[in-house]
Amino acid sequence: MGQLGKASAWLAQTMATHNSSAADDDRTVIYLRGTTEIEIAATFDTAEIELTDASGQLTIEQRRVAHVNTSALVVDGKTIEPDDDDQLIERVTTGDGTREYLYSVVALPGKGTHEPLDNHRHRIRIFLTLRTQR
């Protein structure tokens, strides 16, 4: 692995450590694939995504996205890629109680379910749709 690959891996690990630090103990993120649940470190953001519809018209959509280390997505000893049947649960606890958000992973036309955040694919951005909020 070259210097950029090492730097990318270091940054991904540093961000995972920061995302799961004591400052974020009020947030839990669970990745769901079928009946398998994986607790992961993730940051959430809203991104503007450029999409081209069937008629060739360019549109810009705002989507909720999760930034995740690919090394966290392991099921049965194998690293997985997000699938449009997968879901994420985000639990946020504040002084007012706990709120839970259920997201479905969604495949965007021409983009798929995710895209890399670095050239070495240590971190990815997963495209989401909010399903329920409690």
Judge whether residue 2 has pLDDT over 80: no
The predicted structure's pLDDT at residue 47: 87
- Give the Cβ contact number of residue 24 at 10 Å: 15
- DSSP conformational letter for 72: G
Nearest Cα to Cα of residue 107 among 84, 73, 81: 84
Global pTM reads 0.77
The pLDDT tens digits of the residues spanning 108-127 come to 888 899 999 999 989 999 99
The predicted structure's pLDDT at residue 22: 39
The pLDDT tens digits of the residues spanning 46-64 come to 988 888 878 889 888 888 9
d(CA 126, CA 83): 10
